Each structure stands twice: as structure tokens, then as C-alpha cells.
Amino acid sequence: MPAHASTADASAAADTAVVLVNLGTPDAPNTAAVRRYLSEFLHDHRVVDLSRWLWCPLLHFAILPLRSGKVAHKYASIWLPEGSPLAVHTRRLAEAVQRELPQARVLHAMRYGQPSWKQLLAGLREQGVRRVLALPLYPQYSTSTTASVGDVLQAATGLETRLLHDYHADPAWVGAVADSIHRHRQHHGEGEHLLFSFHGLPQRFADAGDPYPRQCEAGARAIAHALGLSDGAWSLSYQSRFGRERWLEPATSDTLDALAARGVRKVDVVAPGFAVDCLETLEEVAIMLAADFAARGGELRYIPCLNDSPAHASALAGIARRELDAWT
């Protein structure tokens, strides 16, 4: 805690925890660790809502054996000396938010893998924590992500709890993303087109009322507006498709193909659905999709996530402060 924190701040900090909760990531870039992680993730009913009789055999006998090795290779291509990018950036982001929020204990946890969200909650009461505000690191609400963080929070006993629903329209967050795009374009030159690429979701979820695609659209529009972009200068697409059913469209790969076919040579891609860089941004977009676009004669310039930037920490601290003020 910083030296300038008051005594009132200090006692609130002791009994109030703000937890940044992210998806999770493997402990190591090898087949065994990836298999453990994928097994926990893909057993969550919020993520895959198929009948267990159908899904479990498919998962254990086909998906985990076939996918784990391949995905481990992908993780190896982006692994940092300190660990998985998602884990490293999430930890640093929590440290940066703590510096901005001395009135609470700021922690981080993962819905799948380590540090475990379930285990963290179980230990907090013994450490004198009374109130827990969960900030899922998903700007847009989805039942597959945010609600799953909420399931674990609801099961916690002996704690007063709150869950942030989403922050896709928060002005400080919109401003931070717009500013990061603006600065990247100033430094690296401006592409002919800006593509907002969000993680996909089965279309079935949206049909059942999941607000995710609406929030992606509203957030992208607000960011484009803050940048002063005309309608034709940007578009939105969905990446990271999984399985055979229909997912949200258009797919990022199809949109990039269409842009290349239209003669667009320089595309800037930003992924504001991801709070921090991870496999899906660094490997799928910045390596694989960039190589595909280069093979069609173009240049894809990836704009990094907000990660632990001061503007990101300040936006999240502001959101947390507002939630805590409304609580008392």
C-alpha cells in the first residue's frame, strides 16, 4: 500500500478485495499442461452447453488428444520468459490497478487454471476480507465468460459479493482504446482500414439473448466515433471459431480476404474484446492472420491490447471506485 493511504483507506483495504478475473491459460507450453487447461475450460457448461453424454466422450477421446499438442505448439510460439502472456499481463495489470486504488486490496485470478478463482475466494475470509468486488476482464458481457465468473462468486460463502456486468460503454475505457489506436497509427502510420476483431461465440448463444454481439458493435462504434472515423473506414468481425456449428459472422479471416480482394493493402487490426494480449491475439491475429494477409500482398498491422498501460489501469480503477462507492 502506498505511504499516502489514509487510516480509513487502510482499514477498507483490509476488508475489501477487488479481484480482476481473467479466463486462464496453461501453466506451461507443453501438451500435458494444455490438456489440463483445456479439459477444465471445456467442461464448463457455460462454455459448452451440449449434453454431457454427447460431449464428454467427444472431449476425452477426440478433442483433448487431437488438440492439446497442436495448441501447445502455438503457445510455445508466443511464450514469454515469465510465462504465458495472458498470465503475465493480467498480473501486471492488477499491480497497476492496485497503485491507483489504495482503498482496496487488488488481486487477480483465473476462471480456469492458476491462480484459481475458486481457491482465492475460499481463502479470502480467513484473511479478514468481508467484501469482494469481481471485475471480469471481459469488456462485453457473455454468459460463456462473465456469467461463469459469476457462478463461482455466487457459490462463495461468508462474503458480501458484487459482480461487474460489463464495461463496453465506459467512457474512460472507450477513450483508452481510441487513444491506443491513435498513438499506434501516429507511430507506425495509418492503415487504409481499421478492423475491430472480437472473439467469436456460437450464433445459438446470441439467438438465446446473449448481449455479447450488441455490446461488441456498440463498443466498436463508440471507439470509431472517438477517432472521428467515417463509416467506410472501419469494420467489425469475429475470430477464434471453435467446432462445427455456426458462429457469429463475419469471420475475421473472411473479412481480411474481402479487404484484400477489394485492393486494400494496409489494414490495422485491434482486438478490444481482449483486455490483455493472449494466444488469440498474438498467435492467431499477429502471426497467422498477418501471414495470410501478407501472402495476398497486404500488410496487417496489429495494435496491441491495453495490457498494463496507465490508461487501462486508470479506467479499471475508476470503474471499481464507482462500484465501491455505490455499495456503501
Ligand X SMILES: C=CC1=C(C)c2cc3[nH]c(cc4nc(cc5[nH]c(cc1n2)c(C)c5CCC(=O)O)C(CCC(=O)O)=C4C)c(C)c3C=C
Binding residues: 199, 280
**Dihedral sign for Cα atoms in the order 201, 113, 46, 315:** negative
Give the burial string for 143-163 (b: 16+ CB within 10 Å, else e): bbbbbbbbebbeebeeeebbb
Closer by beta carbon to Fe ion, 32 or else 56: 56
Peptide bond preceding 213 in cis form (omega within 30 of 0): no
Q: Is 222 in the site for ligand X (CB under 6 A)?
A: no
Binding site for Fe(2+): residue ranges?
199, 280
Cell numbers 502471426 label which residue? 287
CB of 246 to ligand X, least distance (A): 13
Instruction: Give Cα separations from 137 to 25, 166, 169, 244 (angstroms).
Output: 14, 9, 14, 27
Total residues binding ligand X (CB under 6 A): 23
CB of 291 to ligand X, least distance (A): 17
Closer by beta carbon to ligand X, 176 or else 216: 216
Which residue, 224, 50, 46, is CA-closest to 141? Answer: 46
Residues within window 49-68 making contact with ligand X, judged by CB under 6 A:
67
Q: Is 84 in the site for ligand X (CB under 6 A)?
A: yes
Work out which of 12, 19, 47, 222 binds ligand X, going by CB under 6 A.
47
Cell numbers 465506459 label which residue? 170
Closer by beta carbon to ligand X, 85 or else 298: 85
By rule CB under 6 A, what string of x and - marks binding of each residue 287-326 to ligand X?
Answer: ----------------------------------------
Query: Which stretch in 173-181, 226-234, 271-279, 317-325 sits in contact with ligand X by CB under 6 A?
Result: 271-279
Q: In the chain, what's the furthest Cα-to-Cα distance? A: 63
Instruction: Give Cα separations from 159 to 92, 121, 135 (angstroms).
Output: 26, 9, 16
CA 82 to chain centre: 19
Gyration radius of the chain's alpha carbons: 20
Work out which of 10, 56, 66, 208 binds Fe ion, going by CB under 5 A.
56
Work out which of 86, 107, 290, 320 binds ligand X, going by CB under 6 A.
86
φ, ψ of residue 270 to 5 degrees: the values are -125, 150
Query: Which stretch in 90-98, 175-183, 270-278, 285-293 sits in contact with ligand X by CB under 6 A?
Result: 270-278
Q: Is 212 in the site for ligand X (CB under 6 A)?
A: yes
Q: Which residues bind Fe ion (CB under 5 A)?
A: 56
Q: Which residues bind ligand X (CB under 6 A)?
A: 23, 25, 38, 47-48, 67, 71, 84, 86, 138, 142, 144-145, 199, 201, 212, 240, 242, 273-274, 278-280
